[in-house]
């Protein structure tokens, strides 16, 4: 079964991610796992949808830059927080705040420019317990679960 707006828990996750992005002044928020499964993208003021090409590309860049180097330590229970809120012509111009949870997931709030890190950290800390609970309620990926591989995990 593919996840999407018809699935009540997924829709609740979409709404929670969209509300978090709004609270932070972000463009969108998403949950990605250590296998590059994009579980859900919440876009403020957009009805629940799985069609989010800009966010999908951003999640792929985040995965390559932040998850791949941490994959082994994540699965061993090491948590991380990543802040990219600066402009440097020598590195990516992406702006985001990320917090890992449950050993294999990262919650990411994406911004179009420099953002208020303190405000975002506080909003993420308030929202993370609810978002984590929703993610863990979703069916597992793969055959018989949320979908058939990476493409169907895309949100």
Strand partners, 95: 111
Q: Residue 92 has what pLDDT?
A: 66
At residue 152, does pLDDT exceed 50? no
At residue 154, does pLDDT exceed 90? no
At residue 70, does pLDDT exceed 60? yes
Q: Is there a contact between 23 and 5 (Cβ–Cβ < 8 Å)?
A: no
- Kindly indicate the confidence band of residue 75, based on its pLDDT and cuts at 50, 70 and 90: confident
Q: Is there a contact between 115 and 87 (Cβ–Cβ < 8 Å)?
A: no
Q: What is this structure's pTM?
A: 0.87
Q: Is there a contact between 22 and 46 (Cβ–Cβ < 8 Å)?
A: no
Cβ burial 2-25 (10 Å sphere, 16+ → b, else e): ebbeebebbbbbbebbbbbbbbbb
**What does the radius of gyration of the chain's CA atoms come to, in whole angstroms?**
14
Sketch out the chain's domains with CATH numbers. Answer: 8-153 (3.30.450.30)
Give me the long-range contacts of 81-90 (CB less than 8 A, separation at least 24).
Answer: 81/121, 83/117, 85/111, 85/114, 85/115, 85/117, 86/114, 87/114
User: pLDDT, tens digit, for every residue of 17-43?
Assistant: 999 999 999 999 999 999 999 999 999
């Amino acid at each position: 079964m593919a996840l999407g707006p018809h699935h009540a828990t997924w829709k609740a996750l979409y709404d929670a991610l969209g509300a978090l992005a709004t609270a932070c002044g972000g463009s969108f928020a998403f949950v990605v796992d250590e296998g590059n499964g994009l579980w859900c993208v919440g876009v403020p003021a957009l009805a629940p949808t799985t069609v989010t090409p800009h966010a999908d590309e951003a999640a792929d860049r985040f995965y390559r830059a932040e998850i791949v180097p941490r994959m082994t330590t994540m699965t061993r229970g090491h948590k991380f927080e990543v802040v990219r809120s600066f402009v440097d012509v020598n590195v990516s111009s992406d702006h985001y705040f990320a917090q890992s949870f449950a050993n294999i997931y990262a919650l990411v709030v994406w911004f179009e420019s420099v953002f208020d890190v303190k405000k975002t950290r506080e909003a993420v800390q308030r929202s993370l317990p609810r978002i984590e609970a929703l993610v863990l309620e979703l069916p597992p990926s793969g055959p018989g679960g949320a979908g058939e591989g990476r493409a169907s995990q895309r949100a």
